[in-house]
A and B are shown apart, each in its own frame.
Chain A
Amino acid sequence: MASKFHLTTRRGFVAAMGFGGVSLYALWVAYGAAPGPLSLLGLHDAHGKGEDKGTGDGGSGHGAPVEGPTTDEFRQMTAAFVERYRVSDGVIYPRLLPLGTPHERMIAADIPAEMGQASAIAKGGSGADRIDGWPASDHDAHGGHGAGSADASQRAGIHEDGVRDVYLLAEKWSYEPAHLRLDAGVPYRFRMMAADVSHGASIQFGRGGRMIRLRPNAETAREMTFTKPGNYLIYCTIYCGEGHDRMQARIEVVRPGETNS
């Protein structure tokens, strides 16, 4: 086109307009959902905390399949998890367990103060909020922390940073466990595996959800902190055969200390 033609009929203008969709990058950066231009150029680490804050990722982002157990091992770990945390109404409630035997209670009472923060709180029975951010109610309800074998027993599946392990096994056409009770505000590490074919372990939150795919015989881990109490549906979002429609489980999120289970 000769220059006498209007801007809108020039090749350069049309070519530039064709890149219109690329401008969406600005919105992504504004929401912290993409690294900024300086970060892309390696000049500035802009894709750090801002991203997490902006997108609600929570930062940890553990999601890749991890080098982990075999399917049989995972099945055993799930069974142990279910056995350990089953409460009277049949729901699985991963939490700090009450000290079981008098011996365990005695060990807990004899913990030297210098053994650390957790021990101090176990003795005082207060200030539990200082332990890894765990809510006080956990400790009040369950008798505080122990140490040694009692502590190990209580803290099985609970990491030093306070993140609690949750196991979820998906196979045709059910989940184990089928009903979880979790505390709001507590970080959980979901360790999940599909035992036969690919499954989903997606969570529905009313508006929106968290879509999770599980590939067979590979452990997938996701770290999640539920911020509001409520009942949330877990459902399979990968077609897995004739019973796909009925593959579901439930997460019941409660305020810490809300239940006496």
Chain B
Amino acid sequence: MTDSLRDRFSALPSGDRRLLVGMSAAALAALLLGIVGGLLTALARAGFLDVVPETAYRFLTVHGVSIFFYWLYLAQVALLLGLAAVENRRGIAWRGAAWTGFLLVVGGFMFSMGGAHTGTPLLYDGAPALASEQPATLLVFNLGYVLLGLGLMVAPAAAVATLLGARREGRREKMSAVGFALFAWAGFLMVSGFAALHAFVPGTLWALGIGAFPAAQSTNWHILFHNMHYLPLMATVLLWYVLMRELTGVTSVFGERFSKIVFAMYLVFVPPTSLYHMFLEPDLPGAVRVTGSLLSLFVSVPTLTVFLIIVTSLEVYARAKGARGLFGWLRLLPWSHPAMAAAAMAVINMGLGLVFAFVLIQEKLAPLLSDTFFVPGYFHFFTVGTVSLTLLAALSVMLPALTGRRMWRPTLLRWTPWLTTAGLLVFGAAGVAAGYFGVPRRVIVVDYSGEAPTLWQALMAVVGVGGTIMAAALFAFAVGIAMSLLPRWQAGSETAGLTVGWGGAELNPGATAWVGPTSVLAIVAAMYLFTAVGFELMQALPVIGGVGGH
């Protein structure tokens, strides 16, 4: 398997390429729409855009639904099928099922956007109580997620069939580490699809007048929501793994089996860590909160381990190529490729996201920070800074290969992940600080008739500035990648100078690789620091008690 990913994408049957291009285009459209919605929401919160709150909540609904559901899932399905097809080397099996799944998701997107523009804005979780007097609004909104759920159960089945095809036909004795991870990824996507049906079918039936009111949707939503959180993270680390091989030629120095074990850890560690989303639920027993908090400590294990595999492998190979100094090898990475810049920024943002996420998984700290702007402050490090940049990085490799056209201005595009991260740092820092001072999330006007601290609005203004930079840069990155879909864009496959070839290097026995472990130590030290700040804040509150749940 020495040929590049680009060559293998190019060699796919034209029918497969059309499907993957269509999926990718739909994913990018959802992303661009979601970015616009998010930008308008941030500007309204900052006070830079004068709209009534209901309009701003509609912006927020479009933002959350488009990005959290349709961008992330459509991009994942496109990349899953694309990577499965090149892994199989004979294209997509069950292409009809893949098309069916894709069209179901696109249909869902139409319904969801319809739901977002009519009736009461339901945000992205669509609480049915908010539409208890508007069943038609809930019906349209829920049908979107129901179709999405069905699509997520059908399209990944095609990926599974594709991955199993090589073994069934006797062309491969065992799955590669990537094939194994793709298999798990497809399974997770189908579970997410089922979770979406589980959460939103009851409300749909109620809206149709043939079912009871969905009183349990809140719990069912949390199950789906947890999947939505961690599934893209698994996809992200797998894409780092694939991208680094494509951009540098480096494969894991720890071997395929070790990688498989680590990818399998997502199956073990992610499901039991879901309880921390529910720490504020008033009916969650105290013992469950304690247990959930302790289990959540394990949520970073697979992600940090894959991170170490990749960084250590890169460092060892770079040293074999003559790199010197602790960080000197980083300069040798192929920074001129936008995918490299995006993946590197994704790694940094993941570290920041983990640091703040670990404050929130502490059940005693959750009542201090959940439902505040701390939450969007930290999770944009994951959704934008880590996952979206990685998905775009992968699309920047896949799409030019599928269309046979050049990447649009890579020398310009490579700066967009840096700029996105710069905006994100401003947005995230102000957002986390806003949470520290109690600014609520999901509130557009935060002055509360002058009773709220004036600092709140100032922090929201900074969030607006950071959000604008972040949105503009991410928009530019996505548009730049979409340019390779345009028929008139120049054809070609020249990638010389954008990648490096370290794969054949002879490794130096005894070579050290300290950057990965040092990074993990830095992340853990920051976790200790910010968690301690949280505990100190909690102890300084002028109140004793008030933490819920027995």
Contact = CB atoms under 8 A, between A and B. Distances in A.
B435 to A, nearest CB: 9
Contacts of B371: 200, 202, 211, 213, 237-238
A51 B435 CA distance: 24
Most buried by A among B123, B370, B546: B546
Interface in B521-535: 521, 523-524, 527-528, 531-532, 535
Contacts of A28: 293, 362, 531
Contact of A57 (B129, B130, B364): B364
A64 B550 contact: yes
B545 A61 contact: yes
A74 B38 CA distance: 39
Contact of B537 (A1, A13, A208): A208
A8 B312 contact: yes
A57 B253 contact: no
A10 B299 CA distance: 22
Contacts of B53: 242, 244-245
B270 to A, nearest CB: 14
A232 B312 CA distance: 51
Given A200-B371, A207-B437, A62 B550 contact: yes
Nearest to B285: A64
Contacts of A40: 294
Interface string B448-461: 11011100000000
A56 B527 contact: no
A24 B535 contact: no
B235 to A, nearest CB: 18
A211 B372 contact: yes
Interface stretch (A76-84, A89-97, A108-116, A215-223): A215-223
A141 interface: no
Interface in B300-321: 300-302, 304-305, 308-309, 312, 316
B329 interface: no
A59 B547 CA distance: 9
Interface stretch (B86-94, B167-175, B333-341, B509-517): B509-517
Question: In terms of DSSP, what is the predominant structure of the interface of chain A?
Answer: mixed
A17 B515 CA distance: 12
Nearest to B524: A20
B523 to A, nearest CB: 7
B541 A17 contact: no
Interface stretch (A29-37, A129-137, A145-153): A29-37
Contacts, number: 291
B492 interface: no
Contacts of A205: 438, 541-543
B544 A227 contact: yes
B448 A233 contact: yes
B54 A208 contact: no
Contacts of B254: 1, 11, 14
Nearest to A222: B546
A60 B365 CA distance: 17
Contacts of B512: 6, 8-9
B549 A13 contact: no
14 contacts: A8-B514, A11-B258, A14-B254, A14-B305, A20-B523, A27-B531, A27-B532, A64-B285, A187-B545, A208-B540, A211-B369, A223-B545, A225-B544, A242-B121
The 10 A-B residue pairs with the shortest CB-CB distance, nearest first, are A63-B548, A18-B305, A58-B545, A58-B544, A209-B438, A228-B542, A237-B371, A21-B300, A197-B129, A204-B438
Interface of B: 53-54, 57, 120-121, 123, 127, 129-130, 132, 218, 253-255, 258, 262, 280-286, 290, 293-294, 297-302, 304-305, 308-309, 312, 316, 354, 358, 362-372, 436-438, 440-446, 448-449, 451-453, 509-514, 516-517, 520-521, 523-524, 527-528, 531-532, 535, 537-550
